[in-house]
């Protein structure tokens, strides 16, 4: 996956969340929301992490925790790090907003970050 612009990141995450229309959640885990789940769901950040890049060690923290990990590949770090603030916001939206409110919340996020709303 090549470097993405903030607009491309936002569009990919928004499309993913609105299509999936469900939280990526691990009921048996103390961590709750998850980057990837066993049934194939992904959170706002998880949809940017390819299966081959994913590791269970990623679970349990937010994007800032993930970026601090020495286990994170340089390639994935270089794709995510430029968008830390946007991704943190989108991750919080996924975790803390009811699914039926995602569309409105995503539209507000687009405005907040000066991005185009295409959905």
Domain membership flag for residue 119: no
Q: How far is CA 92 from CA 24, 35, 71, 73, in A?
A: 13, 12, 23, 23
| Segments forming the whole domain that contains residue 57 | 6-112
Domain membership flag for residue 1: no
What confidence tens digit (pLDDT) does each residue in 49-79 have?
999 999 999 998 899 999 999 999 999 999 9
State the Cα–Cα distance between residues 68 and 74, nearest whole angstrom.
12
106-118: average pLDDT: 95
User: What does pTM read for this prediction?
Assistant: 0.91
Q: How many domains does the chain have?
A: 1
Closest CA to 95 of 18, 43, 20: 43
pLDDT band at 90 (very low <50, low <70, confident <90, very high): very high
């Amino acid at each position: 996956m090549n470097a993405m612009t903030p607009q491309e990141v936002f569009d990919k995450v928004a499309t993913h969340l609105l299509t999936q229309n469900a939280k990526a959640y691990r009921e048996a885990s103390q961590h709750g929301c998850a980057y990837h789940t066993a049934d194939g769901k992904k959170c706002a950040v998880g949809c940017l992490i390819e299966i081959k890049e994913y590791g269970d060690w990623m679970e349990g923290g937010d994007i800032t925790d993930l970026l601090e990990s020495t286990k994170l590949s340089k390639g994935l770090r270089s794709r995510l790090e430029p968008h830390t603030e946007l991704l943190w916001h989108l991750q919080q939206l996924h975790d803390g907003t009811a699914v039926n409110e995602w569309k409105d919340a995503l539209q507000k996020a687009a405005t907040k970050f000066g991005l185009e709303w295409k959905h």
